[in-house]
Structure 1
């Protein structure tokens, strides 16, 4: 059964966990602006990346997210590497595929192409004009489609404007498209826009699922209430557990699984996983929690 079929039936789908923080914990320097793309530039980095994907596949993830969060043209141009955007994107997807095959999960695990904000996830004021967004997302989504990803994960969107542009282009591929917002408390995107209105607007484009990610568990729990009321589409969440702010809890696998279990029961989530700070152990525990291992 394909990811599209499972989403339509609202079966639970388990995403993988963090890539950037895992790379950093294993000795890869993930400095901005390239961030996790740095792993693609050396043999050692590529090996570590392959190991991370492998461990997520072995942990029970249904989807491994290719390391394409920052292989977009606009980011690479900041380091005069824009000519490598296509090749780095294709290589990132291939590394994910090889890791899944190594885990013996080639028939069970899909590869998602990560599509991030063209600029900084945490700074909506930096979102470029529409014409620049369209150019960057078109290039990046074309590269991911060429790389033969199984679905798109448009993630950490901090404005409705950019989310709509990315989703509008991605759905033209006819692959499943999941879109995920980063939010603040009180039902707002980081831009201050209404989460309810944003979810409704994106729902009109009929993506496969609407998610929340990269906020702490408390913020996500508060805002899942909004998402659930604003759409009939499958919904989901994957939280940031890094101590970036004093309000962010650092959750071990058991505690994170307990939180996600509450979300499953309260909000009937379809898609779950982990964002920054989560590890293969967190995903293995989620897999166990949903009764698959």
Structure 2
């Protein structure tokens, strides 16, 4: 792991206390609306970069490598959003895991790229931070290009990659860590474990923000709905849970409303400038700054959203409109946790269990919860026989039969003498999820 001996200037406050300053501002009695920056990729495209700017034809399109080859452009993008008043900028590290950088032959540079990306953002934020107007840096961690739920990548590889990325971002001076554009809840779990590993190694905690992407179909890419997301993430020590990318604010409304009623976390909403349209082979976004401002006005005042910003297609003009407007907005009151504390849940929160697709509340209208117990190697000779035969289809059939008989939950136990319980559980659960 490279050891880049730079000392980035503090961003949020003097003395490098940006993390605590961010949380203090987020949970202050005034409950201000915090504005993130806009689309990094959109802004970089406006600089008409060539293959040479990226470091050669083989690296063209690797935006993350620009922190070394064109740091002036990266900082120009940061300045364009800070100049219009945004509170938080994101590092240019969205795809800076070894997994993604490996597609460009840059896997070994992952730590260095993340650290340098954080340093550039921290240096730029420090230029604009002032009394009463601190600026913060969020370490951007994207979803990679693989979905663990579909067995495209091993969970442990993702966890290790996210840990390395977070370590670089923390060493570079970010104020919070952001898992964004999440498309798979298993990827989020790997990310959260990686972040915990990095924070333990560094010896300090940073605020954690998770931003999921709900497609126009109403679910994440792997099929998870908003209820599944909240139920699965509710036990984790995160500070902010929200939405970004995929659609404009109009299609985010039902998800934001559910978060408002059920999520114990501060809500963020960072939409695209509408749905992309193909204009001459180039993605074009039509939502104007005024239209975005009015849509997010409703989310803040009526649904309690406290963090807003822009994703794909959003420009400094969009962010400026949000900054000017939010000075007069007060988020609707909500009960939220502070600093990852698990003691508080919103009044409407209903305890539940979740599959990858949706949740099932423990409190049922028929007054009892049905748990299917037949997929249990300890109590079923049939299950043991099917396991010894590696008959996964037969095991899935037992699960499906119980679901058809209206079981709300499934008890899955594959442990018995002579078998590898970890391997069996992984193989069976993968099939239960996808079948």
TM-score normalised over the length of structure 1: 0.89
Residues 1:88 and 2:120 are matched in the alignment: no
Residues 1:51 and 2:76 are matched in the alignment: yes
**Preserved contact between residue 171 and residue 207 of structure 1 (Cα < 8 Å):** no
Q: Runs of 5+ in structure 2 lacking a partner? A: 1-19, 200-204, 279-283, 329-435
- Summarize the Cα distance change of 1:94–1:244 in structure 2 as closer, same or farther, 3 Å threshold: same
Deviations 1:76-117 (CA, angstroms, capped at 9, x unpaired): 122221221121111111111222233355971011101111
Quote how far apart the aligned CAs of 1:65 are: 0.6
- Summarize the Cα distance change of 1:277–1:249 in structure 2 as closer, same or farther, 3 Å threshold: closer
Which aligned runs of 4 or more in structure 1 are off by greater than 4 angstroms?
A: 29-34, 104-107, 123-127
Quote how far apart the aligned CAs of 1:235 are: 0.5
Quote how far apart the aligned CAs of 1:162 are: 0.8
d(CA) in 1 for partners of 2:137, 2:76: 15
d(CA) in 2 for partners of 1:183, 1:137: 22
Residues 1:8 and 2:27 are matched in the alignment: yes
* Matching of residues 193-204 of structure 1 within 5 Å: 193-204=224-235
The SS at the match of 2:83 is helix
Q: Report which structure shows greater RCO (CA 8 Å, sep ≥6).
A: 1
* Matching of residues 256-275 of structure 1 within 5 Å: 256-275=292-311
Aligned length: 289
2:260: which partner in 1?
228
TM-score normalised over the length of structure 2: 0.61
Quote how far apart the aligned CAs of 1:6 are: 2.5
2:401: which partner in 1?
none
Deviations 1:42-86 (CA, angstroms, capped at 9, x unpaired): 2xx321211110121121111111111122211112222122112
**From 137, 142, 154, the counterpart of 1:129:** 154
Residues 1:40 and 2:59 are matched in the alignment: no
The SS at the match of 1:59 is coil
d(CA) in 2 for partners of 1:127, 1:56: 36
* Matching of residues 156-167 of structure 1 within 5 Å: 156-167=181-192
**Preserved contact between residue 34 and residue 75 of structure 1 (Cα < 8 Å):** no
d(CA) in 2 for partners of 1:34, 1:120: 18
Quote how far apart the aligned CAs of 1:243 are: 4.6
Quote how far apart the aligned CAs of 1:249 are: 5.7
Residues 1:69 and 2:88 are matched in the alignment: no
Residues 1:237 and 2:269 are matched in the alignment: yes
**Preserved contact between residue 38 and residue 318 of structure 2 (Cα < 8 Å):** yes
1:138: which partner in 2?
163
Greater helix fraction, Structure 1 or Structure 2 = 1
Deviations 1:178-215 (CA, angstroms, capped at 9, x unpaired): 00000124642121012212122212103111010002
Q: Runs of 5+ in structure 1 lacking a partner? A: none
Quote how far apart the aligned CAs of 1:120 are: 5.6
User: Rg: which structure is higher?
Assistant: 2
d(CA) in 1 for partners of 2:275, 2:116: 31
d(CA) in 1 for partners of 2:156, 2:68: 30
Q: Which piece of structure 1 moves more, 157-166 or 140-149?
A: 140-149
d(CA) in 2 for partners of 1:35, 1:126: 25
**From 213, 221, 224, the counterpart of 1:182:** 213
The SS at the match of 1:5 is helix
